[in-house]
């Protein structure tokens, strides 16, 4: 199987549940309440070369992204990936790391209230490595990292993690996430520390 065919087979579209109507229901949690909140767990690969491998996961929350900022991101999506990246790069909501490294800025951390708990959506500008830049690999076009986490009222949860993604607008009101890979990784054993226990 040649590399080009493998890449085409590996593309999977995952549709986020975050719609414009939900922007208005973003939980009103103060910056002060979010400060010092840390979420830890394990990221587990589902397929590809990382299948079955696990690494520590950590998200430090400094604040939650405001409804106004979410609208800015949604508007930027209408102009393409570069405009979205430009808008996102001016935001800073926390820090996300895998495998106990320093990690990268978690540009947007969106908190929405669910019937039985809380959902967090994380969107950030990922680091593109030298190999991708040097050889112009297709993954270079996947400029974002993306995660969704669901927490119960006790502050425990699970979710999905996409380390290389495209994010665009579908039907004018839904964030659509395209994963460069076979399946998103799983986030397991998530726990919230600091602040209130609810995610």
CA angle 78, 110, 181 (to 5 degrees): 65
Find the mean pLDDT for residues 71-81: 91
pLDDT of residue 9: 30
Domain-located, residue 3: no
The tally of domains found in the chain comes to 1
Over 60: is that where the pLDDT of 196 sits? Answer: no
Is 149:199 a contact under the CB 8 Å cutoff?
yes
pLDDT, residue 106, reads: 96
What is the mean predicted confidence (pLDDT) over 70-78? 92
With cut-offs at 50, 70 and 90, classify the pLDDT of residue 134.
very low
Q: For residue 12, what are the β-bridge partners?
A: 179
Residue with tokens 């001016």: 90
Residue 111: give the domain boundaries.
10-193
- Residue 136 falls inside a structural domain: yes
Q: What percent of the chain shows pLDDT beyond 70? A: 69
Task: Please check whether residue 198 lies inside any domain of the structure.
Answer: no
Residue 2 domain-assigned (yes or no): no
Query: Within a domain: residue 155?
Result: yes
The answer as to whether 189 is a domain residue is: yes
Q: What is the distance between the alpha carbons of residues 47 and 187, in angstroms, rounded to a whole number?
A: 14
153 found inside a domain: yes
**Report field, pTM of the whole predicted structure over 0.95:** no
Residue 56: pLDDT band (50, 70, 90) is very high
Q: Where does the pLDDT of residue 33 fall: very low under 50, low under 70, confident under 90, or very high at 90 and above?
A: low
Say if 5 falls within a structural domain: no
Q: How confident is the model at residue 1 (pLDDT cuts 50, 70, 90)?
A: very low
């Amino acid at each position: 199987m040649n590399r080009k065919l493998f890449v085409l087979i590996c593309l999977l579209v995952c549709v986020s549940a975050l719609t414009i109507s939900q922007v208005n229901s973003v939980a009103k949690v103060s910056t002060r309440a979010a400060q010092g909140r840390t979420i830890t767990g394990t990221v587990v690969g589902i397929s590809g070369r990382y299948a079955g491998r696990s690494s520590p996961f950590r998200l430090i929350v400094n604040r939650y992204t405001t409804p106004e900022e979410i609208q800015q991101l949604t508007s930027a999506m209408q102009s393409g990936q570069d405009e979205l990246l430009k808008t996102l790069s001016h935001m800073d909501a926390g820090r996300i790391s895998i495998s106990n490294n320093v990690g990268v800025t978690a540009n947007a951390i969106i908190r929405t209230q669910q019937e039985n708990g809380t959902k967090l959506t994380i969107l950030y500008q990922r680091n593109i490595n030298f190999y991708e830049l040097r050889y112009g690999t297709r993954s270079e076009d996947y400029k974002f990292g993306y995660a969704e986490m669901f927490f119960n009222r006790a502050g425990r949860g699970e979710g999905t993690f996409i380390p290389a993604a495209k994010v665009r607008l579908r039907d004018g009101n839904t964030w659509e996430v395209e994963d460069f890979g076979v399946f998103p990784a799983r986030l397991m054993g998530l726990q919230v520390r600091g602040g209130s226990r609810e995610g």
